[in-house]
Amino acid sequence: MSTSTKYRKDEGWCSKSLLRNYLYIFNFFFLCGGIIVLAVGVWSIIAEHGFVSLLSNVSYPLTSYLLVSAGVLVLIASVIGCCGIKKSNRCFLLIYILMLLLVFLLEAKAGILAYIYREQAYQDLKSYLNETFIESYGTDASKTDAIDSLQREHQCCGVVSFEDWNASQWKREGIAGRNEVPDSCCKTESPECGIRNHPSNIYYSGCLRKLSTTIKDHLGYLTIAGLGLCILQIIGIIFSTCLYIKLKNPDITDL
C-alpha cells in the first residue's frame, strides 16, 4: 500500500486526530454524567436512610449503591481516558474501554432494577409495612425509630390510618401506656401527646400511599440516571474502540 493510500485511509470523520477530539468532548460529558450519577446515588442513600429498614426488598438500596459505584468508576475512568487519548497509549485506552463497559453494565443494572421495583413498590409495602408497624413498633429499636421518623416526615399515622395502632403489639402489650397512638403521630409532638386521637391533634391519613409515592419518585430518578446515561457509554465505547484500532497501525499518517 502506498503512502498516499495510507493517508487517504486516515482522512475523514474517523481520523486519529478527530477521534481524539471526539473522545475529549465525550470524556467531558462522561465526567459530568458520572458526577450526576454519583450525586443521585448519594442523595438517594441519604434520603432513604430513615426508612430503608422498613422495606422488605433490597432492590431500592442496591440500586443506589450501584449508581454510587458507577459514579466513582466514571471519575477514575475519565482520568485514565484523558491519559490514553493524550499519549495515544493503547494500554490506557483498553483499560478505558473496559471501564466504560463496566460502568455501562452497572448503570444498566441499576436502571432496570429501579424500573422493575418501581412497579412493585406499592404491593411490596402493602404486604410488609403493616406487619412491621403492628409487630415491630416498641419491640425493635431500629424499626421503631424508622417508623417514628417516617410518621414525622410524611405527617401520617399508621399504615392505612391511625386506627391501625389499635391492633399493634405496642398497644396489646401495654407498651403504649395511656397513648392511643405514638407521639410521632401528633401534629405538635410532645411527651404523651398521643393520648388524644382527635383530628385536631394527630394525623389521620396513613403512611402507605405517601411512602409509596416517595419511593416511586426516587426510583424514577434512579431509572433515568441509570438507563439514560447508558447511551452515553455506547458512544464512548465506539469512539475509543475506533481510536484503539487506529493506533494499532503506527504507519498511518496522523492528521
For 11-37, what is each residue's pLDDT tens digit?
Answer: 455 677 787 888 888 888 888 888 988
| CA distance linking residue 100 with residue 115, whole number of Å | 22
Phi-psi region of 157 (alpha: psi -120 to 50; beta: other; left: phi over 0): beta
Q: How many domains does the chain have?
A: 1
List the domain range (segments joined by +) for residue 10: 3-120+218-246
The answer as to whether 180 is a domain residue is no
Q: Which DSSP symbol is given to 12? A: S
Q: What is the pTM of this model?
A: 0.75
The answer as to whether 60 is a domain residue is yes
Query: Which of the two residues, 9 and 115, has the higher pLDDT score?
Result: 115
The answer as to whether 175 is a domain residue is no
Query: Which of the two residues, 188 and 242, has the higher pLDDT score?
Result: 188
Going by pLDDT thresholds of 50, 70 and 90, the confidence category of residue 76 is very high
- CA distances to 54, 77, 189, 208 from 132, rounded to whole Å, are 7, 43, 22, 12
The answer as to whether 79 is a domain residue is yes
Query: Which of the two residues, 236 and 249, has the higher pLDDT score?
Result: 236
The answer as to whether 41 is a domain residue is yes
Between CA 115 and CA 220, with CA 237 as vertex, the angle to 5 degrees is 15
Going by pLDDT thresholds of 50, 70 and 90, the confidence category of residue 129 is confident
Contact 230, 105 (CB under 8 A): no
pLDDT value for 1: 43
The answer as to whether 22 is a domain residue is yes
Whether residue 235 has pLDDT greater than 70? yes
The answer as to whether 83 is a domain residue is yes
- Give percent of the chain with pLDDT exceeding 70: 91
Average pLDDT (168-172) is 89
pLDDT value for 125: 82
Residue corresponding to grid cell 410488609: 128
Residues in the chain: 255
| CA distance linking residue 247 with residue 225, whole number of Å | 33
